[in-house]
Amino acid sequence: MPNGFSWSELGVDSARLLVIKDVPLPDEGRDFVLYWCMVNHRVEENHALDVAIALGNHLALPVVVYQAIRPDYPHASDRLHAWALEGMADMATACASRGLPYWLELPRTSRQHHPRIGQLGRRAAAIVSDFFPTYIIPGHLRGAARALNVPLFAVDASCVVPMQRIPSLQAGAYTLRPKLQKLWPEYLGRTLAARPLEAASAGRKLEPGFELADAKHARANLDGFHIDHAVTPLAERGGRKAALKALDAFLHEKLQGYDTGRNDPGLAHQSGLSPFFHWGNLFAGEAARAAIRARGTDDPSVRSFLEELLVRRELGFNFCFHTPENRQLSVESLPGWARETLTHHQKDPREHLYSLEQLEHATTADGLWNAAQRELVARGRIHNYLRMLWGKKILEWSRTPDEGLQRIAHLNDKYAVDGRDPASVANFMWVLGLHDRPFQERKVLGKVRPMSSPRTAEKYDLAPYMARWGRPGDPPVKLKRARGAPKP
């Protein structure tokens, strides 16, 4: 840490910090410490904001929260903009309640965007932002570092166990799980209390130097943004308030039986929380503690939920943290056996070769796949079990494994409100063999785990799912008979 003090003196866990720009703190003449919020759209239990406040208190400077969303990010649409803006509206309210100036900038076109961090850096003693090991966030941090002459810190506020505490790439959940379990006593029960603001901005008027935007007004006027208006907003809302409501509904309505029901598409028994974790509306530790309070650590449903939330999710962060961004969605980053078998079978004849347009419009010969694609387009995500099947079939229906991988990412990231996330990246790569083991060899997939719609229909009663997402004219899906129903 520059200027002769340690993070531990400030009550900050250094395992959550990465130094992006390592220069001394300015001696004087600065107006604030800036929290540049890119990922974690919440004030509560936000470790990055906590670091900014700790540093501001140490320097006797107020903290300013800055957010912006450009209209030219990959797959920019009404759907993604709406979810972000709903979270930003909640951020504005929460910052006001804490006495934190909240500066929001919302350019409507790419020409209206200004590289604001360099300008704010001339007034800030230091900048603290979010660390997120995939999508456009690492590039934004690198670009900001080039523009700044003050320290820039990125903070892991996404994982319960900080990514840096697992210093190597893990082969799968079976290697990561025991390492995390050893650290859970240190992290899982730790609530991040709101740190007092010792140097509030009262009495020292802070002006942003640019026009501030209103998230609620922007959310009501999405047609003014140069983004994809064809991907429409969801009826479901984003933001902190909606996240807490969704968590409460899960705990009371779906946590019981989660262990046995989560994989059954007909039951719709999943938590529904993944978009709120992706956008940082919820901290995973909050949800974990709430589940434990609700039913205890010995409950099978709680154990299953914690496995998904604290092991499988953080396995995705581990992969992205230890893999360069340009290799995260690449066959070259698969285990050796998966690379070898997919390469060996790359020229196998495919039963179907669909265009991207056919896939996007759900016009394949697989009725269940079509239903899953429709769910993605309409609901902004796919039932988790069917998302695995969905990805496997795209791999089988593409000319090469790399083409299949890029199509999976494109379709998901265009429509899903929980896409563009380490958990998504790891899931896509799992389709091709990451974090998995070899299976019996077959055409096209080689030794990569297969999945099929007929096998899924044998395992689960798909009638409720198909009633919602199937369409007349779809190829028929052989539905499992309900228990006790007479044979036809």
Residue type at position 249: A
**pLDDT tens for each residue of 139-172:** 999 999 999 999 999 999 999 999 999 999 999 9
DSSP assigned state of 301: H
CATH 1.10.274.100 fits 161-193+238-322, yes or no: no
Give the pLDDT confidence of 169-225 residue by residue, as tens digits. Answer: 999 999 999 999 999 999 998 899 999 999 765 556 799 999 999 999 999 999 999
The yes or no reply on domain 2-157 and CATH 3.40.50.620 is yes
User: Residue 481: its pLDDT value, please?
Assistant: 52
**Domain 2-157 identical in fold to domain 325-469:** no
Whether the pLDDT of residue 2 is over 70: the answer is: no
Q: What is the mean pLDDT of the segment spanning 123-137?
A: 97
Q: Return d(Cα 152, Cα 262) in angstroms, integer.
A: 41
Confidence check: pLDDT of 6 > 90: no
Q: What is the pLDDT of residue 487?
A: 44
Can you tell me the distance from the alpha carbon of 414 to that of 77, in angstroms, rounded to the nearest whole number? Answer: 8
Could you read off the pLDDT of 58-81 as tens digits, one per residue? 999 999 999 999 999 999 999 999
Share of the chain above pLDDT 70, in %: 96
What pLDDT digit, counting tens, does each position of 282-311 carry?
999 999 999 999 999 999 999 999 999 999
Q: Average of pLDDT values for 267-291?
A: 97
Identify whether the C-beta of residue 187 lies closer than 8 Å to the C-beta of residue 161: yes
Span of 39-53, 196-210, 425-439 with lowest mean pLDDT = 196-210
Domain boundaries, the chain: 2-157, 161-193+238-322, 325-469
Which residue is it, tokens 């709903």? 86
Q: What is the per-residue pLDDT across 342-373, written as a single tens digit (0 to 9) for each?
A: 999 999 999 999 999 999 999 999 999 999 99
Q: Is the pLDDT of residue 485 over 50?
A: no
What is the mean pLDDT of the segment spanning 128-139? Answer: 97
pLDDT category at 3 given cuts 50, 70, 90 is: low
CA distance 448 to 184: 33
Q: Check whether 484 has a pLDDT greater than 60.
A: no
| CATH pick for 325-469 out of 1.10.287.610, 1.10.579.10, 2.60.40.10, 1.10.150.50 | 1.10.579.10
**Mean pLDDT over each residue of the chain, to the nearest integer:** 95
**pLDDT tens for each residue of 366-411:** 999 999 999 999 999 999 999 999 999 999 999 999 999 999 999 9
If you average pLDDT over residues 457-473, what whole number do you get? 94
**Residue 480 confidence (pLDDT) above 70:** no
DSSP string, 418-459: T-SSHHHHHHHHHHTTTT------BTTTBTSPP--HHHHHHH
User: Tell me, what's the pLDDT at 477?
Assistant: 84
pLDDT at 268: 87
